[in-house]
Structure 1
Amino acid sequence: MGVFQTLMKKKELIPLAVIMTVAAGGALSFAVYSLRKTDVIFDRKGNPEPWETVDPSVPQKLITINQQWKPIEELQKVRGATK
């Protein structure tokens, strides 16, 4: 007996099936969205310092409110001294 046959016999399960399908789809789409972001890395050996390639002008959060990026002088001096 298939899923659709069960849903046609017990119609009260249709809203539950719809809600579960939408929830699973949302979870899957957020997982794919998170994997495409620049702060997620899979290859640590190919790029040992991935934080150097992150563009500071692109927000890394899902929602960013009034964020302005300014370089920190001390960090720029340390970065210049180590390279």
Structure 2
Amino acid sequence: MSFFRLLMKKKELIPLALIMTVAASGASSFAVYSLRKSDVITDRKNNPEPWETVDPTVPQKLITVNQQWKPIEELQKARKATK
């Protein structure tokens, strides 16, 4: 409760506390958003090759401008040879 008493005593700290609260909540929400994306590896033991399950038609970035995906022929041949 002493934090709120300090804010009531020194009202010039209210905008600073508000800005810091918004910045902290924005940073934590972006961190949670980034962890939920498919290109982030959080469990390497159960899924050692997660890049195999990434859908190339789904954008993986926060903002995607003119993304075009074309398969690389050499990579496709190597993938077929190893399976």
Give the structure-2-normalised TM-score: 0.95
Question: Partner of 1:13 in structure 2?
Answer: 13
Structure 2 residue runs of 5 or longer lacking an equivalent are: none
Question: Partner of 1:59 in structure 2?
Answer: 59
Where in structure 1 do 4 or more consecutive aligned residues deviate above 2 Å? none
Question: Partner of 1:46 in structure 2?
Answer: 46
Deviation at 1:18, TM superposition (A): 0.5
SS at match of 2:75: helix
Question: How many percent identity over aligned positions?
Answer: 83
Distance 1:48 1:35 in 2: 17
Question: Partner of 2:3 in structure 1?
Answer: 3
Give the structure-1-normalised TM-score: 0.95
Question: Partner of 1:81 in structure 2?
Answer: 81
Distance 2:78 2:2 in 1: 64
Deviation string 1:37-69 (CA, Å, 9 cap, x unpaired) is: 111122211111110000101111111100011
Structure 1 residue runs of 5 or longer lacking an equivalent are: none
- Give the root-mean-square deviation of aligned CA atoms: 0.9
Deviation string 1:9-45 (CA, Å, 9 cap, x unpaired) is: 1000001000000000010001000110111122211
Distance 1:80 1:15 in 2: 59
